Amino acid sequence: MARRKKQTSWYSQEVKIPVRITERENKVFHFIKPIKTLTSFVLVLLLVLVQTQIFSAFETHIISVTAQIDNGIADYLVINKVYYDVDDDHGRESKNEWLELYNPTGQDINIKDWQICNREECKTIHPNVSVPPSDIFIPASGFALLSHDHSTWTLYWEVPDSVITINLGTAPDEGWLDNDADMLILKDSEDNIIDQMNWGIPDEAWINYNPDVWNPGIPDVPEGNMLGRDPNGFDTNKTSDWKEFGIPVVTVIIPNGGELWWVGRTYTLEWIATNPVGDANNLSIDIYYSADSGKTWANIIIGTENDGAYDWRVPLFLNGYYVPSDNARIKVVANNSKNFIITAWDMSDEDFCPPIDYDLLTPEELEMLKEFLGEEIIVDLPDIEPIETVTPSDDGIALPDIGESIDIIAPEDDGFDLPDIEPIETVTPTEDGVGSSDGAVGSSDEVEEPVDEPVDEPVDKPVDDGLFDETIKEDTVIDIPVLDPLKAVTPEDDGIDTK
C-alpha cells in the first residue's frame, strides 16, 4: 500500500461540469439559459474554453491511471517482502527477521535517513550502518535487504553481490515483528509515508495505526514462510497483492558420498527439489562442485531445469578450479523464479572421489595438467598379477621341482654345447694333510673336516661308475679350460652324467 497513491484518488470522483457534452465529433454545448447580452456571451465563451481544457486534461490523466492499474507495478519504492516468523534453520526471532525493499523505477533512489516502522516504533536507516558512501542508493530495478544482524545474510540466506544489505541495529529481546499481527511503514527522509502493509487483525491501539491499515490484513503465514508481492513491485492497494512463499526443499541423491567418479567420464547427478506452496516447475537449479568437502565451490551449471537429473562429464578443471580430489562434494541450489531470496540448497552427505582417467582426457586437458603439475605426466599402470620368483639357496639357484629334464640355455647367443672332457683332478684332504690325486678314493676311510674352516657342500668324486664323492677345498684353485658352448641337463638321483 502506498500513501502517495491516495493523493490521486480525486480523479476517481465524479467531476461536475455545468455543460452537457454530446457524443458528436464536434462538441455542442447547450446552456441552461439563453444568452441575452454580449457580456454574458463572452463570459460563457470563456467558461466553455476553460472547461474544455480541464476536461481534456482529465481524459489524459484517466488514461494514464488506467494504464498503471492494468500494469499494477508501482512507480515508487515499495516494501516487497517480509520474513517475520523465523524458523530454526534461519536464525531466531527479532535478530534474524528481515524485510526487502524493491525499486521498480528507472532511476536510483537514495534512502539515506529514511525510516522503517512497525506497529510501535521506527528505525532510521543511518549511513553508518551501511558500506560507504554515506548515501545509500537502491539502483533502478534493484533490491535492498534490511535486518538487525549481519549474520542473517552470512549464515542463513544466499544473497547476490548486487543486492544491498542494511543493518538496522540491535534488535529487541523479543520479536521486533509480531508473528500474529503487525505492520510495516516506509517513510522517506521528510517523514512522508511512501508505502505500508500489514498482516493479521490490526489493533487501533497500535502507536503507528492509521486509516490506511487493512482490516483484516494479509493472512498470517506459518513459521518459516514469508509474504511477498507477486510479481515484484505489484501494488493496487489490496491485500491480494501479497502472496505466501515457502522455502524450497532440496535433497541431493547422487553423488551422496563414497562414489568413484573418474575425471573424463560422464555421470548423472540426481536430486529432488520441491516447492511447498507452489509449482516445482517455478524452481530453477544451480549445481556446484567442491574439492575440499564444501569449503570452496566452483559452478557446474546455472539455471538448469528442475527435472531431477543432469549429465555431467567430470572435467579436469572447472573454470580454473582443479577437480581431482579425495574430498569432493556436490551442492544443488533451488531458486524460485519469483524472487532471488526464495532459495534453498543441499549437498552430498559425505565425500566422493574423482581420480583421473588419463585415456579420456582431451589434448587440452593433458596440456593443462602438465602445466599445472609443472612436470611430465606419468601414467599409472593398471594392477597386474605378481611374478612368481625362486628364492636362491646356499648353492646358488634352486630349480623348480619337475619330473623330466629341461634344456637350460645360457645367456649367450643360442646356448652352448658341452664337449666330452676328462674327469677333473681333485685333491682330498686327509688326516696328515696329504691328499690323493690319482682320481681314486683316499687310503683313509674317514676324512676329518677342518675345524672352523668353511667348506663347500660335498661333491661326488669320480669312481668306477663315473661319480666322485670327495670334497673340494674352498681355497683349491682349479684351472678350467675354455670350452665350447655346452648343453646341461638336470641332475638325476645318482649324480650328474657327463657325455
323-363 pLDDT, tens digit each: 999 999 999 999 998 888 999 999 999 999 999 999 999 99
pLDDT of residue 329: 98
End-to-end CA distance of the chain: 120
- Which DSSP string corresponds to 129-143? GSSSSSS-EEPTT-E
Confidence band for 12, pLDDT divided at 50, 70 and 90: very low
28's grid cell = 455542442
Rounded distance between C-alpha atoms, residue 225 and residue 333, angstroms:
18
* pLDDT above 80 for 457: no
Confidence band for 169, pLDDT divided at 50, 70 and 90: confident
* pLDDT above 70 for 313: yes
Average pLDDT, the chain: 75
For residues 250-256, average pLDDT: 98
Is 301 in a helix, a strand, or coil? strand
Helices (H) and strands (E) counted in the chain, each on its own, are 3, 21
Confidence band for 379, pLDDT divided at 50, 70 and 90: low
Q: Is the distance from CB of 351 to CB of 327 less than 8 angstroms?
A: yes
* pLDDT above 60 for 453: no
pLDDT of residue 135: 81
Rounded distance between C-alpha atoms, residue 228 and residue 245, angstroms:
7
**By mean pLDDT, which of 52-66, 87-101, 181-195, 453-467 is the weakest?**
52-66
User: With left for phi above 0 and alpha for psi between -120 and 50, is residue 323 left, alpha or beta?
Assistant: alpha
Q: Is the distance from CB of 330 to CB of 350 less than 8 angstroms?
A: no
Of 484 and 33, more confident: 484
* pLDDT above 70 for 180: yes
Distant-in-sequence, close-in-space partners of 206: CB < 8 Å, separation ≥ 6: 119, 120, 183, 213
Distant-in-sequence, close-in-space partners of 427: CB < 8 Å, separation ≥ 6: 435, 436, 437, 472, 473, 476
Candidate ranges 41-45, 110-114, 367-371; pick with highest mean pLDDT: 110-114
Q: Is the distance from CB of 270 to CB of 249 less than 8 angstroms?
A: no
Is 458 in a helix, a strand, or coil? coil
pLDDT of residue 418: 53
Rounded distance between C-alpha atoms, residue 316 and residue 302, angstroms:
19
126-146 pLDDT, tens digit each: 755 445 556 889 999 999 999
Cβ of 379: how many Cβ atoms within 10 Å?
Answer: 8
* pLDDT above 50 for 161: yes
Candidate ranges 15-24, 397-406, 458-467; pick with highest mean pLDDT: 397-406
54-88 pLDDT, tens digit each: 444 444 333 333 334 448 999 999 999 999 999 99
Q: Is the distance from CB of 1 to CB of 79 less than 8 angstroms?
A: no
Beta bridge partners of 305: 284
Rounded distance between C-alpha atoms, residue 186 and residue 202, angstroms:
18
Is 347 in a helix, a strand, or coil? strand
CA distances from 143 to 111, 116, 240, 321, 334 (A): 12, 15, 22, 31, 20
Confidence band for 467, pLDDT divided at 50, 70 and 90: very low
Confidence band for 51, pLDDT divided at 50, 70 and 90: low
Nearest one of 343, 344, 340, 342 to 164, comparing CA atoms:
340
Cβ of 364: how many Cβ atoms within 10 Å?
Answer: 10
Beta bridge partners of 488: 408
Confidence band for 425, pLDDT divided at 50, 70 and 90: low
243's grid cell = 502472496
Rounded distance between C-alpha atoms, residue 116 and residue 102, angstroms:
14
Domains of the chain: 3-71 (no CATH), 78-245 (2.60.40.1260), 253-358 (2.60.40), 399-499 (no CATH)
Is 61 in a helix, a strand, or coil? helix
- What pTM was computed for the model? 0.59
pLDDT of residue 125: 86
Residue with cell 640355455: 409
Strands of the 249-254 sheet, one edge to the other: 249-254, 266-274, 309-313
For residues 11-37, average pLDDT: 38
Candidate ranges 245-259, 334-348, 371-385, 461-475; pick with highest mean pLDDT: 245-259
pLDDT of residue 252: 98
